[in-house]
Structure 1
Amino acid sequence: MITTIIFDIGRVLITYDWTKFLEKDFHDAESVAVLRDAFFGHGLWNELDRGVIPEEELIRQLAVYAPGREDQIREFIHTFAAQFEQMPYSKQWIRDLKKRGFAVYFLSNYSHQAINANREVLDFIPLMDGGVFSCDVGLIKPEPEIYQLLCSKYGLKMEECVFIDDKQANTDAAKALGMQAITFRGYEEAIRELEGMDLRRTMRD
């Protein structure tokens, strides 16, 4: 029986579209293409989410893939998180789940820089029972250890949890550990999938 809902944050509870962020900051197609490859084509951004690489070292390594663009790289690192927006349904969804008796947690790949820039956007977190940011524990999804750490920290039973994430690899990892999982494609669809599960409380009164 499901007693606990665990949310990813990006693209589930807040907007998170790197290409749009790059296009907003850098208006020429060449810059967008080069910087997108540098940031997301070589695994370096994962190390920022893991919280293990200093910012200046990250910039130096990214510049290997985007020569002469150190200033653009630094600018994006300092401004990207300010473009996040909270989904209109986020707080009410959490409140509804809590009202029905579910425990609600988060598990998110998130950098220290993004947390510091996003405190207002993340103001739904106090409504939750707890959670884990990747940068605080040196682990990232879909590594099994980060799911296990969350459950160990809060005494959660894998088989009683539903994990909601927009990435198939992350939901597959949750399922492999014994959780139920929903690959998020939209709020209404996620609600329908939850309603089809063995929930401790009904989703609608």
Structure 2
Amino acid sequence: MIKNVVFDIGNVLINFKPFEFLRERFADEAVVQAVYSTIFESKEWPELDRGTITEEQATENFCRYCSEYEEEIRKVMREWHSMLTPIEATVDIFKELKQKGYKIYVLSNYHMKAFESTYNNNEFFKLADGMVVSHRINMLKPEPEIYDFLLKEYSLNAQETLFIDDTLANVEGANKAGIETIFFKSAEALREKLKGLKLL
């Protein structure tokens, strides 16, 4: 029987659509592609999630890698948190599950500054019974250790725990830890699956 529901954040509870964000700011597709690659496909990006580098350090590295677009890179790094807006239909599910008496947790790869902004701007996070955020513990999904940390930190039984994530590797990592999972595709599909499991 499921007693605990664990949500990923990015593209499950909160929008993260960097291409849309970049195209709203730069008309030149070459700029969009170059800046996207330099920032969001960098080796620094997951290290920001892991908490082993600061945004300031990463920004300097990005500008060094792609000096011709330094101005654009700095603009993006100043403003990218603004794309982190709530996915209201999933937030509604989060709240409904809490109201039904399930314990609600968050397990996410997330940068320190971005998480602070996201948490402070979205009251619903305060309903969570616990949160494991990558930068705080220097671990990343889908590393096995992060799932073990979640279970031990909150004394959760894996077989009573359901994890929802939009990245297949992260879902598979949770499965290996014995946790039940739903591969997130949309809020509507999630609601149907939860109804099928008699959780909603």
TM-score relative to the length of structure 1: 0.89
- Letter aligned with residue 199 of structure 2: M
Q: Residues 50 and 137 of structure 2 are in contact (CA less than 8 Å); yes or no, is this contact kept in structure 1?
A: yes
- 8 Å CA contact 2:8–2:164 kept in 1: the answer is yes
Q: Which residue of 1 aligns with 2:29?
A: 29
On the 8 A contact 1:82/1:118 being kept in 2, the answer is: no
Question: Separation in 2 of the partners of 1:25 and 1:49?
Answer: 24
Cα distance in 2, alignment partners of residues 105 and 28 from structure 1: 41
Aligned equivalent of 1:102: 102
Distance 2:137 2:131 in 1: 11
Cα deviation code 1:22-75 (max 9, x no counterpart): 112323111110011112333321111111112332123223432333332222
Aligned-partner Cα distance in 1 for 2:68–2:18? 21
| Residue 92 of structure 1: how far off its partner (Å) | 2.7
Q: What CA RMSD, in Å, does the superposition of the two structures yield over aligned residues?
A: 1.7
Distance 1:68 1:122, change over 3 A: same
Match in the other structure for 2:12: 12
Note the C-alpha offset of 1:164.
Answer: 0.4
Give distance in 2, aligned partners of 1:80 and 1:135: 18
C-alpha distance in structure 2 between counterparts of 1:196 and 1:173, whole Å: 23
For the 8 Å contact 2:105–2:131, the answer to whether it is kept is yes
Query: What residue is the counterpart of 1:203 in the other structure?
Result: 199
SS in 1 for 2:39: helix
Q: Which has the higher helix share?
A: 2
Quote the Cα distance in structure 2 between the aligned partners of 1:138 and 1:170. 16
* Letter paired with 2:192: R
Residue in 2 that maps onto 1:61: 61
- State the identity as a percent: 34
Q: What does residue range 75-86 of structure 1 map to in structure 2 within 5 Å?
A: 75-86=75-86
For residues 71-103 of structure 1, the C-alpha deviation after alignment (integer angstroms, 9 at most, x for no partner) is: 322221221112221122244322211222211
Q: In the alignment, is the contact (CA less than 8 A) between 1:82 and 1:117 conserved in 2?
A: no
Partner Cα separation in structure 1 for residue 67 and residue 168 of structure 2: 33
> Matches of 2:151 and 2:180 in 1, distance apart?
14
Work out the CA distance in 2 between the residues paired with 1:148 and 1:28: 45
User: 4+ residue runs of structure 1 moved beyond 3 angstroms?
Assistant: none
Note the 1:126-137 alignment, pairs <5 A: 126-137=126-137
Q: How many residues align?
A: 200
Cα offset, 1:149, TM superposition? 1.1
Q: Give the counterpart letter for 2:15 in structure 1.
A: T
Q: For residue 181 of structure 1, report the CA deviation from its aligned partner.
A: 0.8
Where do 5+ consecutive residues of structure 1 fail to align? Answer: none
Kindly tell me: are residues 174 and 11 of structure 1, through their superposed partners in 2, closer, same or farther at Cα, counting changes over 3 Å? same
Aligned to 1:155: 155
Q: Output one character per residue of 1:113-141: Cα deviation in whole Å (capped at 9) or x when no partner.
A: 21233245432111111111111111111
